[in-house]
Structure 1
Amino acid sequence: MTETDLSHPKAGQPKISASFEFFPPKNAQMEETLWASIQRLEPLNPRFVSVTYGAGGSTRERTHRTVKRIIDETSLKPAAHLTCVGATREEVDEVIQDYWNAGIRHIVALRGDPPAGAGTAYEPHPGGYANGAELTAGIRRLADFEVSVSAYPERHPDSVDWDEDIDNLKRKADAGAARAITQFFFDNDLFEAYMERVAKAGVTLPVIPGILPVHSFPQVARFAGSCGASIPDTLEHRFEGLEDDPDTRRLVAAAVAAEQVLDLEQRGFTDFHFYTMNRAELVYALCHLLGMRGEEPVSEAA
């Protein structure tokens, strides 16, 4: 796969690349917001943009429709999420084939979690793919997809220890994954320690840090609680008392996110995956800080 020139660094500096994640809209207003964000971010020429897939395939049609529209109406390279929760292999394979027929060539393969409110731990479908590694192998068997998978800087909640967690990542790499994208995190030291574990285990799969700008601290706290990500006390303190002060909250969110990505850049990380929450302004600003620039219009000859 040929890499695209995603930024305009100074001589001798590494190129910065980014990818963006969106979720399929539920109504016309949310769709308008999504497409305004896509149009705002498209000139940054990201490596790819991904579209999420609800638990148990609950957003299957909306995900497919959103990805198809990205193919038809933009220059972006879309990646469709896919999980194996609550479905047989035949049902999942049908989705994979539908994606291929629609012109999609990149899938983000995830084990997935039970639907919200199910109140039960994850259990593989008796006739389905058991985990992300099996799903990755199944995708690669059916067609020549590029496959991205997940990684967990603070360990997946279902992993009993770090050995099991890193072994899961290795099995996904061995199954044919092209890269791993991490769950969001806010402590860069934890991410760097994770990368050291990955390297020590001999896993060479590229691991891309997933960055979640804090548009709403209560929402992020709920996300973190469900996926095992920690929230530093300092982060909570920064947003304290801003529930009814949206202007200041946006400024603080921008400062916090900028601090994180610029620190990662200083540590030598050059690839980023931004969880946009279908909002473009803060992500666009972060990419600008990292040196990415939108494509400049070609001026007409005089």
Structure 2
Amino acid sequence: MLFHGGEPLLWGIERFYEIYEYEKELSDKTGVKFTNSIQTNASLIDDEWIRFFKTSHIGIGISLDGPIGVNAHFSQDESLSFKRTISILDKLKNQKVSFGILSVITNKHIVNGAESFYDFLVENSIKNCGLCYCYNPDDKCSVDSEKLGYYLSDLFDLYFDGEARVNIREFNNAISAILTGKHRCCSHHQRERCGYYLTFLPSGDAFFCDPYNLRKENCLGNISECSISDMVSCSKHQELFNMIQKQVRDYCNKCSVKDICGYGCPRTDRDNEINYFCSANQILYSHIINTIKDRRKSI
């Protein structure tokens, strides 16, 4: 189960303890194993939360986009929140609580260069990082796809040959796909797994994966009224699944990196067009393929 937001810690630590105890009870009865993760901006993490994280073994993702200069999306002064977040990371490390960060990559990152971001990870002993590429079809804030491809290629070189070992999720996934043919991320599975992860609102309404547009007509049902199996077998779920398959199939079948890219996440499909990050993926994955080929030749 993934707790996302908004800010999920606002739900209260008491509720998280209740869920944790309920899952243990169900696991003892049924043998079903539960895994949980939480995505938070870390602003509410205190000693009590850290104790809970240690006992529950919940996966922790901290929303942090990088060094000062790339985090202030809505505020002019990011220094105070940045310093507090870094202090929370230090507390987690001191208490031996594992965590990763999730970074939204914007045009500010590209201007600063990949080395700035990599150095930030190394200097703060951040071992695990996931990347989320900024995309908003309603304004002009989306990161430039082609420039993103070259930025990520530079970042990959630092990740591959840099002074410190940092796990960057997207690069780990790509290498796994190239060397083993196995994919670790749902967005790399030629969209065969789209709809496996349902989004639940506080009201109990469920939606297909994690859509930007939570329109009522796309609701799959409410958890208080129908089962999850009913939701994933309903006509609306199948309709959405068929739509995202059809949207890219013809174009993507001609692509040389389709087996790594896996058609990309449908959340970033443009209406009646290819995926917004298609050019970024082609540049990045071609670079990774060539890098691995060259390394194999030199061994």
Scaled to the shorter chain, the TM-score interval is 0.3 to 0.5
User: Max radius of gyration: which structure?
Assistant: 2
Q: Which has the higher contact order (CA 8 A, sep 6+)?
A: 1
Structure that is richer in helix per residue? 2
Q: Provide the TM-score with structure 2 as the length reference.
A: 0.44
